[in-house]
Amino acid sequence: MTSEIVHVPSKWRAKHPHGAHLNGFLEYRTLYEESIRSPDTFWAKQARELLSFTQDFHTTRIGSFQNGDNAWFLGGQLNASFCCVDRHAIQDPDRVAIIYEPDDPQDGSQSITYAELLRHVSRLAGCLRARGVRKGDIVTIYMPMIPEAVFALLACARIGAVHSVVFAGFSAGALQDRIVDAKSKVVITTDEGRRGGKVIHTKSVVDDAVKDCSCVSTILTFRQTGGDVPWTVGRDLWWDEEVKKYPAYISPEPMQSEDPLFLLYTSGSTGKPKGVLHSTAGYLLGAAVTGKYVFDIHQKDRFFCSGDIGWITGHTYTVYAPLVLGCTTIIFEGTPAYPSFKRYWEVVAKCAATHFYTAPTALRLLKSKIKKEEIECFDMRQLRILGSVGEPIAPEIWKWFHNFFGSNQTTLTDTYWQTETGSHVVASLAGVTPMKPGCASLPCLGIDLAIIDPVSGEELTGNLVVGVLAIKQPWPSMARTIKDNHDRYMDTYFNIYKGYYFTGDGAYRDHDGYVWIRGRVDDVINVSGHRISTSEIESALLEHPAVAETAIIGVPDNLTGEAINAVVSLKERENPIDIKDELILHIRRTIAPFAAPKAVFIVTDLPKTRSGKIVRRILRKALIGEREFGDISTVRELSIYWDFFRILTSI
Ligand code: WTA
């Protein structure tokens, strides 16, 4: 761990076109201390400044971690689509809300103003209402990265429906689970989508997914490619034919602060993906406060977040944070590799992006493919702030990002957070915090961090401590529950260390009080910044008729951060080569391509304890090439892991 400090470039403030929101590090320190000492005063002030309540709240916060009943801004009424659209459309209708950059650069980009956004959102909201969607109903959205996906989120919010976006890379089976769990009447999709020059068959996947879902009565399909798609008359509707029937303005539904805004499924360490539920006011405030202070967003900014709306990063920083703060968000449909590895530079330069927020996995790929001469032609002068998210960023990748995108003239913020936290919880504030390459840095405003000793369960105070990362005080954008499973919510986050929210990540606090994230301490794997649980892949593999037992292990990987390895024993002898490919395909089909194992090892048996529990520790060590297995006195059959060890070394 390096203690190297990179200071905010000296000209950064002088060149700032609008003046930074915070004057410097001391101001952050003062504001942070205030936010921890008097959280209610701090959050109430931020809420009144950054959101528009149609009825003011009377109570800032009630509830506790122990009871799992935190609620914020009680008595307040607001509407997320009003905060993100109407108030900017009223103030400055021609300001650009969205720049759409299609997968194929030849197709030309498109700009949508706030006034136009208001019309699109209203018409779609009218259409959803006409299809029977009411306040509190959950609408499932399965769409590529196009402006209509943003319209869909905001249209749900406008009528008080809860959106549940499913990443358009998930299989029909995974989509079906989510639709059924949400009991969605309406699914919104496209005929097809494009990504990296390839066609993605969204409508066909939705059709397969809803085959056995009696709840779905409408599939609203946006015509994106014009491709031929299966059609069920009565159930399927074309977006363009429908939305024009509804008015260009419908009034936003007044929502209570605590009414749910959205559901997003994410992987936990056990069981099926859980539907994480976020509130309206608290979530939106988290997006606004971090957008303002971590990313220093101003209304004239053009914010480019490469996160897909199927994940929390896309929700908070492609859609809600930029729009609630009234700047321009860049919706990029493609990948960093198509038509060439220069694509991100092209988008940043063409859209004159002021911010670029992406994941280390993309940066690792680009670092291996791009030479400085190839990107020198791009005008990146507008770029002020870079951000990294999703996994730890290695110091050499951090420096490369800072240099290759920012010519060492921007600030770079590493942002640590989770689907459940709703918005950043540890980050360096752009232009404010002295940066340490590879380090998530310091707690965000209002976030009271703790590092806990996992053995004693005691909080470790002071610096130079290693443990698990937790949060001590409630914050507005924390998830409120797991749909239909509040017990699981309590057990996962609050019952492990009483009085704390448990993140599931290990962390180290260095001599300056900076926090370094060390990765998950539970059975969650992070592949290219996508979260997936070992048990989810294991259950899917066990559904395959040939598989007797299996253990999924995450191992370090140069490109994807972690890679999925499957260790499998079979019911009967099969050709191990054929079966490996088949198992990989099985996961691609049943969950998603990103969840497919990079390697499958077939063994005769798995190492187990005397009580029959698989000893993953041994498998992990063997897979990363460690030959010291530690205490193995409780492992049932030593010969088994030697067998495994032999197989590995012979590959
Ligand atoms: C990991 C993504 C290190 C972490 C926003 C967390 C990170 C999980 C960082 C949440 C970071 C996210 N440094 N690790 N800057 N950001 N993580 O819910 O393990 O998809 O628990 O949210 O990603 O993943 P999720």
- How far is CA 461 from its chain centroid? 30
Is 419 near ligand 1, meaning CB less than 6 Å away? yes
Q: How far apart are the first and last CA of the chain?
A: 33
So what's the pLDDT on residue 421?
98
Mean pLDDT of the 190-197 span = 97
pLDDT surpasses 90 at 263: yes
So what's the pLDDT on residue 636?
52
Q: How far is the centre of ligand 1, averaged over its atoms, from the C-alpha of 442 (Å)?
A: 15
Residue with tokens 């930029």: 322
Sign of CA dihedral 421, 447, 528, 314: positive
Residue with tokens 């606090």: 509
**Can you state the angle between helices 147-158 and 114-130, rounded to 10 degrees?**
60
Q: How far is the centre of ligand 1, averaged over its atoms, from the C-alpha of 391 (Å)?
A: 5
Residue with tokens 């809600």: 320
So what's the pLDDT on residue 641?
58
Atom 5 of ligand 1, nearest CA residue: 418
User: What is the residue-wise DSSP string for 416-469?
Assistant: E--TTT-S-SEEPPTTTSPB-TT--BSBPTT--EEEE-TTT--B--SSSEEEEE
Sign of CA dihedral 505, 508, 514, 518: negative
Sign of CA dihedral 21, 22, 28, 32: negative
Q: Between these two residues, 409 and 625, which has the higher pLDDT value?
A: 409
Q: How far is the centre of ligand 1, averaged over its atoms, from the C-alpha of 416 (Å)?
A: 6
Q: How far is the centre of ligand 1, averaged over its atoms, from the C-alpha of 530 (Å)?
A: 9
Q: Between these two residues, 436 and 630, which has the higher pLDDT value?
A: 436
pLDDT surpasses 70 at 644: no
**Integer angstrom CA distances of residue 221 from 124, 149, 193, 229, 359:** 12, 11, 11, 10, 30
Mean pLDDT of the 576-601 span = 90
Distance CA 153, CA 399 (A): 35
Atom 8 of ligand 1, nearest CA residue: 418
> 282 with 478: CB under 8 angstroms?
yes
Is 526 near ligand 1, meaning CB less than 6 Å away? yes
**Integer angstrom CA distances of residue 413 from 267, 402, 601:** 26, 10, 39
Mean pLDDT of the 231-236 span = 97
Beta strands (DSSP E) in 260-327 are: 260-266, 274-279, 302-305
Is 391 near ligand 1, meaning CB less than 6 Å away? yes
Q: Is the ipTM of this complex over 0.95?
A: yes
So what's the pLDDT on residue 650?
46
Structure token pair of residue 246: 């509804």
* pLDDT over 70 percentage in the chain: 94
Q: How far is the centre of ligand 1, averaged over its atoms, from the C-alpha of 364 (Å)?
A: 17
Of the candidate ranges 88-102, 245-259, 316-330, 553-567, the one whose mean pLDDT is the lowest = 553-567
Type of residue at 349: A
Looking at the CA of residue 416, tell me the nearest atom of ligand 1. 15
pLDDT surpasses 90 at 477: yes
pLDDT surpasses 90 at 169: yes
**pLDDT band at 605, cuts 50/70/90?**
confident
Give the CA dihedral 304, 310, 312, 318, nearest 10 degrees: 20
SS3 467: strand
Q: How far is the centre of ligand 1, averaged over its atoms, from the C-alpha of 417 (Å)?
A: 5
Mutate to test the pocket of ligand 1, among 417, 423, 527 (most ligand atoms within 8 A of CB): 417
Distance CA 473, CA 162 (A): 27
Mutate to test the pocket of ligand 1, among 358, 517, 536 (most ligand atoms within 8 A of CB): 517
Mutate to test the pocket of ligand 1, among 278, 502, 505 (most ligand atoms within 8 A of CB): 505
Residue with tokens 């950043």: 424
**Average pLDDT of every residue of the chain:** 93
User: What is the residue-wise DSSP string for 207-275?
Assistant: HHHHTT-TT--EEEEE-SS-------TTTEEEHHHHHTTS-S--PPPPEETTSEEEEEEE--SSSS-EE
pLDDT surpasses 90 at 133: yes
pLDDT surpasses 60 at 285: yes
Is 315 near ligand 1, meaning CB less than 6 Å away? no
pLDDT surpasses 60 at 434: yes
**H helix or E strand, kind and range, residue 344:** helix 343-350
So what's the pLDDT on residue 651?
42
Q: How far is the centre of ligand 1, averaged over its atoms, from the C-alpha of 411 (Å)?
A: 20
pLDDT surpasses 80 at 639: no
Atom 15 of ligand 1, nearest CA residue: 416
Distance CA 203, CA 191 (A): 5
Q: For residue 327, which of 380, 293, 291 has the smallest C-alpha distance?
A: 291
Is 415 near ligand 1, meaning CB less than 6 Å away? yes
Q: Is the pTM of this model over 0.90?
A: yes
Residue 409's DSSP bridge partners are none
Is 390 near ligand 1, meaning CB less than 6 Å away? yes
So what's the pLDDT on residue 273?
86
Is 358 near ligand 1, meaning CB less than 6 Å away? no
Give the max Cα distance, the chain.
73
Query: Peptide bond preceding 339: is omega within 30 degrees of 0, i.e. cis?
Result: yes
Is 504 near ligand 1, meaning CB less than 6 Å away? yes
Looking at the CA of residue 519, tell me the nearest atom of ligand 1. 19
Q: How far is the centre of ligand 1, averaged over its atoms, from the C-alpha of 317 (Å)?
A: 14
Q: For residue 210, which of 227, 235, 238 has the smallest C-alpha distance?
A: 235
Atom 24 of ligand 1, nearest CA residue: 418
Contacts of 193 (CB under 8 A, 6+ apart): 143, 144, 146, 168, 199, 200, 202, 224, 225, 333
So what's the pLDDT on residue 176?
96
Distance CA 69, CA 629 (A): 43
Is 70 near ligand 1, meaning CB less than 6 Å away? no
Mutate to test the pocket of ligand 1, among 416, 428, 530 (most ligand atoms within 8 A of CB): 416
Distance CA 36, CA 463 (A): 19
Atom 23 of ligand 1, nearest CA residue: 390
**pLDDT one-digit tens code per residue, 320-336:** 999 999 999 999 999 99
pLDDT surpasses 70 at 226: yes
Type of residue at 194: R
Between vectors from CA 526 to CA 322 and to CA 494, what angle results, nearest 5°? 80
SS (H, E, C) 568-612: EEECCCCCHHHHHHHHHHHHHHHCCHHHCCCEEEEECCCCEECCC
Mutate to test the pocket of ligand 1, among 531, 536, 560 (most ligand atoms within 8 A of CB): 531
Structure token pair of residue 126: 């009218």
Mean pLDDT of the 462-466 span = 95
> 559 with 527: CB under 8 angstroms?
no
Mean pLDDT of the 25-49 span = 98
Is 520 near ligand 1, meaning CB less than 6 Å away? yes
Residue 405's DSSP bridge partners are none
Mean pLDDT of the 532-541 span = 90
Q: How far is the centre of ligand 1, averaged over its atoms, from the C-alpha of 138 (Å)?
A: 26
Type of residue at 169: G
Q: How far is the centre of ligand 1, averaged over its atoms, from the C-alpha of 234 (Å)?
A: 42
Q: How far is the centre of ligand 1, averaged over its atoms, from the C-alpha of 427 (Å)?
A: 12
Is 387 near ligand 1, meaning CB less than 6 Å away? no
Mean pLDDT of the 290-297 span = 98
Label residue 486 exposed, middle or buried (CB < 10 Å: 0-12, 13-18, 19+): middle
Looking at the CA of residue 520, tell me the nearest atom of ligand 1. 19
**H helix or E strand, kind and range, residue 537:** helix 534-542
Atom 13 of ligand 1, nearest CA residue: 392
Q: How many CB atoms lie within 10 A of CB 511?
A: 8
Distance CA 217, CA 326 (A): 35
Looking at the CA of residue 420, tell me the nearest atom of ligand 1. 18
**Integer angstrom CA distances of residue 311 from 144, 235, 276, 421:** 12, 28, 12, 13
Distance CA 554, CA 334 (A): 27
Q: For residue 278, which of 320, 248, 219, 247 has the smallest C-alpha distance?
A: 320
Looking at the CA of residue 311, tell me the nearest atom of ligand 1. 20
